[in-house]
Structure 1
Amino acid sequence: MTTGRQLLVLADRDEAEAVAEALLEQWPALGPLELVRDALAGEDDAEDAQWLVVLEEPVGGWQAELVAAVDALVAEHEGWREEG
């Protein structure tokens, strides 16, 4: 069962912005979304950073259909979801 904050991990800012835009188009109730740059531990190069789209738990909780749709969307952008 999915609960709490969810983090969508993506390789770059453009992908994170595209995912955030698509999420808000389909599910406006998820907003506002937060985009965060997450430097990998021990990496000094700015290119070695992941971008996170932070999703707070919606009113009514994470429904299975919504989680599956979010997972599919983030996978299309070569990313993944983590509970945060």
Structure 2
Amino acid sequence: MPVMHFRVQWPDGEEVNCYSPSTVIGEYFMAGRRYPLADFVSRAREALHIGSERVREKYGFACSAALDQLAQIEQHADRFAADPSAEVKVIELS
């Protein structure tokens, strides 16, 4: 199954590499684009769940790495939840 990595920049400027077990992430994000925080988390949640389910369909078990990645994204996002103007930039998809 082809994996995909995506690099994001959080509102405080911190850059983080993220993992997806599927290329579906490319249907949810575009490199160079900024997303409002809640939208970014929602898109990541949906895409990573789909990716995890694709692994389940192929191998018979969910992708724990995708679910771990989602938990990390949600934890990072919580730091900026009080800022209504917070955005996350998707730097690159590879």
Name the TM tier (shorter chain).
Answer: 0.3 to 0.5
* Higher RCO structure (Cα 8 Å, ≥6 apart): 1
Higher-helix-fraction structure: 2
Q: Under a length normalisation based on structure 2, what TM-score does the superposition of the two structures give?
A: 0.31
Q: Under a length normalisation based on structure 1, what TM-score does the superposition of the two structures give?
A: 0.34
